[in-house]
Amino acid sequence: MTHHFSAASLLRNAFSGHKNWSQQFRSVEPESKYQAVIVGGGGHGLSAAYHLAREFGITNVAVIEKGWIGGGNTGRNTAMVRSNYLQQDSVKLYDASIKMWESMSQKLNYNVMFSQRGLLHLAHSVSDMQEIGRRAHAINMFGADAELLSPGQVREWLPDINLNCRFPVMGALLQRRGAIARHDAMAWGYARCATELGVDIIQNCEVTGFEINNGQVRSVHTTRGRIETDTVGLAVSGHSTHLADMAGFRLPIETVPLQALVTEPLKPVLKSAVISASIHAYVSQSDKGELVIGGGTDPYVAYSNQGGFDEIETMMTAIKELFPNYSRLRIMRQWAGMVDLTPDRSPIISKTPVRNMYIDGGWGTGGFKTSPIGGLLMAEMMAKDTVPDLAAPFALSRFNTGVLVDEGAASSVAH
């Protein structure tokens, strides 16, 4: 029923006035019973649904979305994809996701505009240099790609950069496979394929509770009725705690606002994505030409999708310091999302205290890039009730033992 997308189909449809394109995804009324229910219609939830159907043959699946699919952090992030992490388990996980991104457009028959433009992580001090040195060596050893650049090489990648800024650029960690992508397309692509495989996408449907008997989930209560199921996956960034509360368990999560903004569109000026963790800003240029800028999270718990203007000031001063030529550019649109931060800044891909309820969450600011792998791992947990090797280090139980995957480790202490 769904059209194959290609230049030829585009051409063919042009001659019929584009009147024959079919729906890319359907939003339906929920059935009373499903084999599996995924709560959350963002990148992770839709990816989980797609992979459940595609890889594990489970197609009697509902994706329940409170608003409209891709409308949470999937539609609010700055669309960077990278695996330049510190810990072995993280690098493996995030790099597995990059690999899925690399073939996603073809697999989904949906152009997600995945563009490996390279990502530079700048170092501004001796301790930054030590940190990226450790990271570069780790990333390489664990099978992803990383290079260390001298300031001169940084200038070749970023001709406009002010190397001699207040905290001079001493070097950079380059990940050539680092990429940006079209965030909405990823959600729509998964939704389209999941729909085609028989998954029901239910929008404007909010979960109000879970029915749990003897520690096993039995049904999901929603604003559109009760849905019987014995397998539930949670992929609800910004609402993980809220849903865990309903299911009766507690998470090591704090939900904080993360802001981002874009400038007016410009002709190509910035080839790669740039992150400067120590001065709190990152920037890339979208295909449309907008500079997409982000920074640190606001520090306090908030569920208002609104952050403080002080964070915006921090970002703008940092960008102007790094790229003085950008000073006269104008900020066009600004927004915030809610991110679920864990103590070790690593995700939770895990079974939960409720039998047959699984969680793929706590991604902090890294959820977009890992939608493919997060969804795949959750699908496997839901299909087999076993934890895949890649997910094992990210179990909820690590917050009992203290065996964390600490991504904040190298930057959280004194010098």
Write out the binding residues for other proteins, residues 358-397 only, by CB under 8 A: none
Task: Indicate whether 148 belongs to the interface with other proteins (CB under 8 A).
Answer: yes
DSSP string, 226-256: EEE-S-EEE--TTTHHHHHHHHT---S-EEE
Shortest distance (Å) from residue 41 CB to other proteins: 11
Count the site residues for other proteins by CB under 8 A.
133
Number of Cβ within 10 Å of residue 8's Cβ equals 9
Task: Indicate whether 126 belongs to the interface with other proteins (CB under 8 A).
Answer: yes
Task: Indicate whether 28 belongs to the interface with other proteins (CB under 8 A).
Answer: no
CA 14 remoteness from chain centre: 34
- Structure token pair of residue 305: 């999708």
* Residue 12: its H or E element: helix 7-14
**Smaller CB separation from other proteins, 56 or 68:** 68
Task: Indicate whether 29 belongs to the interface with other proteins (CB under 8 A).
Answer: no
Among 50, 94, 101, 110, binds other proteins (CB under 8 A): 110
Phi-psi region at 346: left, alpha or beta (left = phi > 0; alpha = psi -120 to 50)? beta
Binding mask 42-81 for other proteins (x = CB under 8 A): -------------------------xxxxx---x------
**Smaller CB separation from other proteins, 216 or 327:** 327
Q: Which of 260, 24, 281, 34 has its CA nearest to residue 161?
A: 281
- The span of 51-59, 77-85, 140-148, 222-230 binding other proteins (CB under 8 A) equals 140-148
Among 168, 225, 248, 353, binds other proteins (CB under 8 A): 168
235-254 residues labelled b (16+ CB within 10 A) or e (exposed): bbbbbbbebbebbeeebbbb
Task: Indicate whether 209 belongs to the interface with other proteins (CB under 8 A).
Answer: no
- Structure token pair of residue 25: 């995804």
Binding mask 297-336 for other proteins (x = CB under 8 A): --xxxxxx-x-xxx-xx--xx-xxx--xxxxxxxxxxxx-
Task: Indicate whether 166 belongs to the interface with other proteins (CB under 8 A).
Answer: yes
Query: In the range 248-277, which residues lie near other proteins by CB under 8 A?
Result: 250-255, 263-269
- Structure token pair of residue 150: 């001298």
